Amino acid sequence: MALWAGRFSKEVDETVNAFNSSISFDARMFAQDITGSIAHATMLGDCGIIEKSESEHIIEGLRGILADLESGKLVFDPNAEDIHMFVEAELTKRLGNTGKRLHTARSRNDQVALDIRLYLRDEIDEIARLVHKLAVTICDIAEQHKETILPGYTHLQRAQPITFAHHLLCYAQMLRRDLMRLVDTKERMNECPLGSGALAGTTYPIDRWQTAKLLGFDKPVDNSLDGVSDRDFCVELCCALSLIMTHLSRFSEEIILWCSWEFKFIELDDAYATGSSIMPQKKNPDVTELIRGKTGRVNGDLVTLLSMLKGLPLAYNKDMQEDKEAIFDAIDNVKLCVKTFIPMLSTMRVIKENMRKAAAKGFINATDCADYLVKKGMPFRDAYKITGTLVAKCIAEDLTLETLPIESYREMSELFADDVYDAINLENCVMQRNSYGGPSPKAVTDQLDELRYELEQAIGCFS
Ligand code: ARG
């Protein structure tokens, strides 16, 4: 018999029942649902809305349900409409009439809004810890490669010399911003919707500040309609998660390239690669490909949330039940991806020689050659043109700027002298790129120090 049987003359159609039900996916919020109910019952008792003894009885009953769900003694009823109805029904089963008082001055609309916030708040902490760990792992690898020369690319064409450390830290910077976005999201969502009621608050003398405080929120949501109809925090979190995935996906793509025979800059540990069912020689970077693929899925979750909210009139609408599967899916997949990514990175073998070999080809010191002339007084545009001509000559004669004879240099400009070879030496080129944020070992050391500090500051905002 449905809870609302008084109003209805028929049982709900079985298909509709199953269609309507969310317990298969909202059961995971059981602890948050019970925590919220305990705070609500405490407040009802303290405000004299129900007897203090009844409030205590209810709290004890709720604690019992929580313990039994955690131990597996109590299992979810798949026929319950949702986790909120299930817990309340179980409480009434255990306590009789007292259990029926719990829902005084509350609606499932503010209840579900509360549960999601509590659930996401906990998940954000865990995701933040994982993102932080990944960023620190990248910093640790970078520490080892401040002098490992790597060609930097634009348009996937070799461009200018950098170091592997500098390249890696670019990803760590993305993750630092991801972490700060999580700080922001958590801070903005930390307002308590409980007490918004169905949409219009309540006539009971409730204390919304008490429940907000008991549940660790900064304050109650200021508008009861907003309390039940806002899912911006789901969208914001999903945005942050989409960006995390975007960053992992870009990194994954580079790892896929780097472990191809065309690059061979790294080799993944056997534990983080897979073979082929037919080609005995294969070692495939499946993990990174799956991360790249799952990025589309998390973006899909974000679009689901935005589309679900678009055009919804105030306040609660059942459409909003669709929020959970989307945001839960995004959370689950991001956690899975980051957890797998960390050990995959820390076990990968960096093949410095191949990075150095790649850096030696492709004229990545051409800008430095032009800058050499500029430093001797030539305008940059002229120096650029002369260097371009020298590169063309090298290509025609199968030489590099390092092996081109000084006579050929001097034919183009009298400003060239023997010290040009020092100026275009790759190690020197990197060393001298000492501008703030640049790839020189000194600049990278400064970046790394600052970054490690900022990562520690950011993770301090989570519990
Ligand atoms: N299962 C519902 C959800 O996830 C709970 C709120 C139901 N409220 C209602 N008025 N039907 O959104």
Residue 193 — φ and ψ, nearest 5°? -80, -10
Ligand 1 contacts CB of residue 111 (under 6 A): no
* 321 CB near ligand 1 (under 6 Å): yes
109 lines ligand 1 (CB under 6 A): yes
Residues taking part in catalysis: 155, 276
Cα–Cα distances (Å) from 136 to 15, 27, 128, 432, in that order, read 50, 34, 12, 27
Burial of 356 (0-12, 13-18, 19+ CB in 10 A): middle
**Extents of the domains making up the chain:** 18-104, 109-357, 366-424
**Residue whose CA is closest, atom 11 of ligand 1?**
318
CATH 1.20.200.10 is the classification of domain 109-357: yes
Ligand 1 near 33 CB (within 6 A): no
Distance 41 CA to ligand 1 centre (A): 20
How far is ligand 1, taken at its centre, from the CA of residue 53, in Å? 30
The Cα 378–Cα 261 span in angstroms is: 42
CA 231 – ligand 1 centroid, Å: 13
Q: Which of 63, 287, 315 is nearest to 193 (CA)?
A: 315
Length of the chain: 463
pLDDT tens for the chain, 463 residues long, are 677 777 888 888 888 888 999 999 999 999 999 999 999 999 999 999 999 999 999 999 999 999 999 999 999 999 999 999 999 999 999 999 999 999 999 999 999 999 999 999 999 999 999 999 999 999 999 999 999 999 999 999 999 999 999 999 999 999 999 999 999 999 999 999 999 999 999 999 999 999 999 999 999 999 999 999 999 999 999 999 999 999 999 999 999 999 999 999 999 999 888 888 888 888 888 999 999 999 999 999 999 999 999 999 999 999 999 999 999 999 999 999 999 999 999 999 999 999 999 999 999 999 999 999 999 999 999 999 999 999 999 999 999 999 999 999 999 999 999 999 999 999 999 999 999 999 999 999 999 999 999 999 999 999 8
Residue 81 alpha carbon, nearest atom of ligand 1:
1
- At 35, which helix (H) or strand (E)? helix 30-46
- CATH for 366-424? 1.10.40.30
Ligand 1 atom nearest residue 316's Cα: 10
Is pTM beyond 0.85? Reply is yes
Please state, in angstroms and rounded to a whole number, the distance separating the CA atoms of residues 401 and 224: 71
CA of 394 to the centre of ligand 1 (A): 71
Write the residue with the smallest CA distance to atom 3 of ligand 1: 321
Give the Cβ contact number of residue 4 at 10 Å: 8
Q: Which fold has domain 18-104?
A: Fumarase C; Chain B, domain 1 (1.10.275)
